[in-house]
């Protein structure tokens, strides 16, 4: 539960910092932070971060013994807020579940 939250925060901060760096480089080099040579790489980085976030959320749902399709609940207004708190606060299943062994079982 805490690992998921920390990973989501780190992913969001890294994405924001990379986008900020591209905007600053665009401002300094081209005089326009919305230049094509800035927007495209920043968009690609955002796409990679988004895919990483989806994969991380699916892993978390598997830890909760739920299907990855439950992630579609995050597209429903107001339900997405409750769903986010559930993902952050619900304890994972102990031991084996339908998606494999407990990922924390081998940690020291």
Q: Using CA atoms, how far apart are residues 24 and 11, in angstroms rounded to an integer? A: 20
Compute how many other C-beta atoms are within 10 angstroms of the C-beta atom of residue 4: 19
Q: Categorize the per-residue pLDDT at 77 as very low, low, confident or very high, splitting at 50, 70 and 90.
A: very high
Give me the helices (H) in 1-108, please: 2-30, 36-63, 79-89
pLDDT in tens, 4-19: 888 888 988 988 888 8
pTM: 0.75
pLDDT, average across residues 88-95: 81
83 vs 26, residue with greater confidence: 83
98 — phi, psi (to 5°)?
A: -65, -15
pLDDT of residue 65: 85
Q: Categorize the per-residue pLDDT at 79 as very low, low, confident or very high, splitting at 50, 70 and 90.
A: very high
pLDDT of residue 1: 60
- Tell me the domain boundaries of the chain: 2-89
- Check pLDDT > 90 for residue 82: yes
What's the sign of the alpha-carbon dihedral 32, 36, 39, 45?
A: negative
Compute how many other C-beta atoms are within 10 angstroms of the C-beta atom of residue 91: 8
């Amino acid at each position: 539960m805490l690992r998921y939250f920390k990973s989501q925060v780190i992913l969001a901060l890294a994405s924001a910092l990379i986008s900020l760096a591209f905007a600053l480089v665009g401002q300094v080099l081209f005089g326009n932070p919305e230049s094509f040579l800035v927007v495209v790489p920043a968009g690609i980085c955002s796409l990679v971060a988004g895919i990483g976030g989806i994969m991380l959320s699916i892993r978390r749902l598997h830890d909760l013994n739920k299907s990855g399709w439950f992630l579609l609940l995050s597209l429903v207004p107001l339900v997405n807020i409750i769903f986010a708190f559930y993902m952050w606060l619900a304890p994972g299943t102990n031991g084996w579940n339908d998606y494999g062994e407990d990922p924390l079982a081998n940690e020291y």
